[in-house]
Amino acid sequence: MGKWLSVLLVITSLTAYGGDEALSIDRGLSTDVQFSFENDDNIVPELSDFDVTHVVLMSNDSGERFAVITVKNSANGQRTLTQKQLMALKADGERINPKVFSMLFSPLQTQSLTLDFGRHKFPLLNVYSRAQ
């Protein structure tokens, strides 16, 4: 009886999980592409000691947008990275921050992390910071 209950729980878990769509890596753009979308409201990330060194953009057919980024703390002291210090540019020119997060970095540390930008019709083109 216990064995069947375990099998039933596993099947129920897989069924509940099966509703999530897999993410696909979006085709990469050349690093020398320069976009010139209007930014009349001067929407920019907060100044920080963080440099985004690498970006991999991901999405699914439901419009969920994610990015795996590699970030370097260029300061000689410990710093905390938050969503306000990063921004994504969407293909319609809109600039958005990722969902709320906070991550502690040691001096000069480099880390990769996955960011959730929510659901949007237009794909992400880039994720960037504004270093001091």
Instruction: Please give the model's pTM, rounded to 2 decimal places.
Output: 0.81
Residue 61 lies in a domain: yes
Predicted confidence at residue 34, as pLDDT, reads 83
Residue 69 lies in a domain: yes
Residue 31 lies in a domain: yes
Furthest C-alpha separation in the chain? 66
Q: What is the mean pLDDT of the chain?
A: 87
Q: Contact at 8 Å (CB) between 74 and 116? A: no
Q: Contact at 8 Å (CB) between 115 and 64? A: no
Domain that residue 39 falls in: 22-131
Q: Tell whether the model's pLDDT for residue 9 goes beyond 50.
A: no
Tokens of 18: 């099966």
Which residue's structure tokens are 């596993």? 10
DSSP H or E segment with residue 87: strand 87-90
Residue 3 lies in a domain: no
CATH number of the domain where residue 42 is located: 2.60.40
Query: What's the rounded Cα separation, in Å, for the pair 12 and 93?
Result: 42
Residue 115 lies in a domain: yes
